[in-house]
Amino acid sequence: MKVLFVVLFFSATVQIYSQDWIIVDILEQTKKELVYKVDNGEEVKRETVKNPSIVKLIKDYQAEGYQLKSVTQGVELELNGNLPLNNNWNNNFGVANLNLFNNNRVMLWFEKREN
């Protein structure tokens, strides 16, 4: 009986608190469109918007009840090409067909609190 009383007492006094996070990863911004990925914790969706304004994107999520908590920048390094198969390590031009791309990525972290 005491255990039941303690469980009921704590369940009545503890508030239920949860929050949803959304991470918006901006992939590409041109004069005509904005390409981004939305990660809500369950799935990642790629979306394209004709209005390339990041400020408008932030305001749209704030209108849905999300609050911008943080803006981070990540660097994505992409190495494309193939290594030569010969073992001539004295050849300085043996890896000339490798391409290195450095893409700066902006990530917007939104939080939605639910009581």
User: What string of pLDDT tens digits covers the 115 residues of the chain?
Assistant: 666 655 555 555 555 555 688 999 998 888 899 999 999 889 999 999 998 889 999 999 999 999 999 999 877 777 676 655 555 555 555 555 666 666 778 899 999 877 5
**Domain residue ranges of the chain, discontinuous segments joined by +:** 22-80+96-115
Asked if 27 and 37 count as a contact pair (C-beta separation under 8 A), the reply is: yes
pTM value is 0.62
Assign residue 40 a region: left if phi > 0, alpha if psi is -120 to 50, beta otherwise? alpha
Three-state DSSP at 63 gives helix
